[in-house]
Structure formats: structure tokens, C-alpha cells
Amino acid sequence: MIDTPTVDWLALSPSVALLGASGVALLAAVIVPDWMRKSVAAGVVLIGFVLAAVLAGVVFDETPTPEVLLDGSMVRDRIAALTQVILAVTGAVVVLASWAERRRDNHGEYYALLAAAGAGMVFFVSADNLMTLFLGLEWFSLCLYILVALDTERATSLEAGLKYLIVGGFGSAVLLFGSAFVYGATGELGFAEIAAANPTDDVFLLAGLAMILAGLAFKVSAAPFHMWTPDVYQGAPTSVTAFMSAATKAAAMVVMLRVLVTAFPDQSEIWTIAVAVLVCISLAWGNLAALAQRDVKRLLAYSSISHAGFMLMAIAADSERGAEALLYYLVPYSAMSVGAFAVVAVRERELQRPVTLESLAGLGWERPFYGIAMWTFMLGMAGFPLTGGLFGKLFVFSAAYDSGDWWLVLIGVAATAVSLGYYLNVVRWMYMRAGGELRLAPAGGSPPTDPALGVAIGAAVLVTVGSFFAAQPILDAAADAAASLPF
């Protein structure tokens, strides 16, 4: 008789739904006629992401206390479920934004890989030991490597895919090597078991902790582990960049929080300092480098590095309030990031070339809806009122201050002031141009009329503004989720 673990299919259902959608989309690439292949694949994957969000919501509602599953390989708790909802909704919006993309072929493969990457992220955030953590990480990373290089007719896409593969593989190797050190020091794979083993003077444990932190820092685009981010974000298809900027960061941030708090509580005095250093470097480098950018996708890439610094500030707080702030921050940030890249995709499609700041000249007057949307996203990222970005930064600063990291708050405020220089510059280029300076679309260009793209951008605007007016319900859900961790 083989003793097999009991499988909790409800806990696995979000991943299963996305895997099923991925399989159907891939099948559609083979058996569906060319003229309807894109619509079928996109529709199936959109249903998969919506179903995954609903199922994750059910898991959140029916899991008041954490439950360890599959012999300690994964955990069913509210922090994983809430993150899965964010990931699934993000994926659904990206599918809508992708519908308008002009791709010669590989429609079925694109949507299948998008769903498979989402399934990997959903699995990744529920990992409860080092083995499943690495499995989930590689699961979605391999899908993203291919997605980045999927536009084979563009040399920049192939170059970005190669860079992401090399640097991402190096980051995964660092994380795996660190996991081996931790296992060698403790003889355990489970996060709680590693904490219980507690060989406080073991140099291998500390080396493993440092390498795991570095490996996850690659995935969240934290400086100085950000070297791949600007080039990959610029070269990848814009819809893939939108998905990476929001979903990958959300998944990796939550897993970093879970690993540090659950597996290394006795080393908190060490890792909080290390994370605080990452905060300072990310905020400084991300904001200062963004000031010099002319390409909008590179500008948003450095902005993403800066936002990684704000999120890491919540992790450095090492408190339940910090976890609440991180989870809240992920909601408006994901919407703003996906929405901003969707607007860039609009301009790319219209002008048939990469979007620079000069390319945005007059967008606010030519395309009022997209101009207002981009204006909202930029102000939200800067932390202006009437957007969730304001409360996101306030909650992060509050958590840091309560933990005694008042100096991080000062650095965060200074970084926010610097960021106004490039966020408001985007708005300036869209609106503050004299009539004679406006550059309308060339004769061959036409304004995007795809309703799915408008729905995607509208949904992002709704979440960005709605998270300001409905901050308390989101914060309550974040508080319920944060209670799952052993602070």
C-alpha cells in the first residue's frame, strides 16, 4: 500500500482552471481555422482567468485559518487566495488588452502561455516549502521567457527574450543554491520546519538566506538586481510587459514576505536591514534613472523598480501592518501598471513604432479617453489624491514608521518628490503642447477601435480610482489575509 496525501482540489482549483484554459487554447491553435483562432483562444483564456479569480475568492471566504496541504508542500490560506485574485484579475485585463495586438501568427500559443504563466504564479504564491517554491518559480518563468521572445519578426523581442533567459536563469540558480544551503544547515524544506530548526550560528543558513533573498530580488526587479528590467520591458511585446510588471511583481513580493516571515523569523534583525538597503537602492536608482528616459516603456520600467522599493519597505517593516500595506499596494499598482502599458500599446498600434515622450505629444487632445486614462495612471503612481496610489504609499509609510524605520519614510517621501519630475512630464507631453506642435497620427495610422482594449483600460482606471474610495474594504481583506502569517 502506498500512502498518498489527500488532495484539496478547491485549493488547487485556480491553478487547474488556468491549466485547463491553457490546454484548450493550445488545442485551438491546431484545430481551429485561422480566421477565428485568435478569438477562440483569447475567449477561453479570459474565461479561465475569470473562473480562477472566482475560485480564489471562494477559497478566501472558506479558509479562516491556514491549512497545510500535500505533506507540507503548499498551504491554503487567505494571503495566497487574495494574491491569486489579484493575479487572476490582472491576467483577465491583460487578455483584453492583448486582443487588439497585431500579431501575424502564434495566437493560440500566446494565450496558452499567458494562462500557463498565470497558473504557475497562482501555484507559486501558495508554496510552503523550498521545493514547491522553486517549482512554481520555474513554471511561470519558462512561460515568460517564451512570451518575451514570441514576436520573432522583431529583433528587439528576440534580444529581450535572450537577456531575460540568461539573467532569469542566473537568478533562479542563485535561489536554488541558497535553498540547498538552507537545507544543508537545517535538514528541512518546509518554511515552518526551517524556522523550528533554528541553527542561529550556522553560516550556511545565513548564506542561504542571502541567496534566496537575492534570487527573489531578481524577480521583483529590485535594484541592484534590476539589470534585465529596462531592456526586457522595452523589447517584449507590450501586453507581455504589462503582465510581467504587475503579476510577476505581485507574486514574487508575496512569496518573499511569506518566506522571510515564516522561515527566518529569528534572523529578522539581519534580513530587515538587507531589505531596507534594497529599498534605498531601488528608490534612488529607479527614480533618478527614470528622469533621463525618453522611451516610455523604459521610463515605466524604471518606475517599476521604484515601486519595488516602496513594496519592499512594507516587507522591511516585518509586521502585520506591513503585510496589510503590501497587499493593499498591489491592488492599485497592478491596475496602474497594466493600464499604463495598455495606453502605450494603443499609441504603438497607431503609430507603428516605439513610443517615446515625443510620440505622446497631443495624445490627450487626439484621443481624450486614453489621455485621461494615462493622466490618471501617472498621477496614481505619483501618489496623488483620488487614486489608490495615495493610500498605498501612506499605508506603507505608516507601517515603516510604526516599526521604527522613520528614515525609510523620509527616503520614500524624497523619492516620491523626485518621481513627480517624470510622471508629470508624461502628462505635460500629452496636454501642454501648443496647437501647432501637435503631431496627429500619420496618414496610414488609424485610432484603435477595439472595444476590448477600451474595456481593459477602463477597468484599470476604475480600480485605480475605486481603490481610493473603497480603501477600507480592500484594507479589511488585506488585514484578514495578513493574519495568516505568523507575526
pLDDT digits (tens, 9 = 90+) for 314-327: 999 999 999 999 99
pLDDT given for residue 449 in this prediction: 62
Please report how the helices 296-316 and 388-402 are oriented relative to each other, as an axis angle in degrees rounded to 10. 40
Average pLDDT over residues 398-408: 94
Which candidate, 110, 343, 145, places its Cα nearest to that of 228? 145
How much of the chain, in percent, has pLDDT values that exceed 70? 95
pLDDT given for residue 399 in this prediction: 96
Coarse DSSP helix, strand, coil percentages of the chain, rounded to the nearest 5 percent: 75, 0, 20
Cell of 90: 490582472
Q: Are the C-beta atoms of residues 340 and 327 closer than 8 Å to each other?
A: no
pTM of the entire predicted model: 0.94
pLDDT digits (tens, 9 = 90+) for 77-113: 999 999 999 999 999 999 999 887 776 667 788 999 9
Least confident of 65-79, 104-118, 324-338, 421-435: 421-435
Count of CB atoms within 10 A of residue 23's CB?
15
pLDDT given for residue 130 in this prediction: 95
Q: Are the C-beta atoms of residues 245 and 303 closer than 8 Å to each other?
A: no
Average pLDDT over residues 34-52: 90
User: What CA–CA distance (Å, rounded) separates 28 from 112?
Assistant: 9
Indicate the pLDDT class of residue 290, thresholds 50, 70 and 90.
very high
pLDDT digits (tens, 9 = 90+) for 365-390: 888 899 999 999 999 999 999 999 99
User: What CA–CA distance (Å, rounded) separates 49 from 481?
Assistant: 21
pLDDT digits (tens, 9 = 90+) for 426-460: 999 988 764 445 555 554 444 556 788 889 999 99
pLDDT digits (tens, 9 = 90+) for 248-277: 999 999 999 999 999 999 899 999 999 999
Distance of CA 350 to the CA centre of its chain: 27
Least confident of 107-111, 186-190, 200-204: 200-204
Q: Are the C-beta atoms of residues 190 and 128 closer than 8 Å to each other?
A: yes
Helices and strands in the chain: count of H runs, count of E runs: 20, 2
pLDDT given for residue 366 in this prediction: 81
How much of the chain, in percent, has pLDDT values that exceed 90? 75
pLDDT given for residue 436 in this prediction: 45
Which candidate, 96, 97, 92, 93, places its Cα nearest to that of 47? 92
Count of CB atoms within 10 A of residue 72's CB?
18
User: What CA–CA distance (Å, rounded) separates 130 from 191?
Assistant: 7
Region for 361 from its dihedrals, namely left if φ exceeds 0, alpha if ψ lies in -120 to 50, beta otherwise: beta
Q: Are the C-beta atoms of residues 274 and 311 closer than 8 Å to each other?
A: no
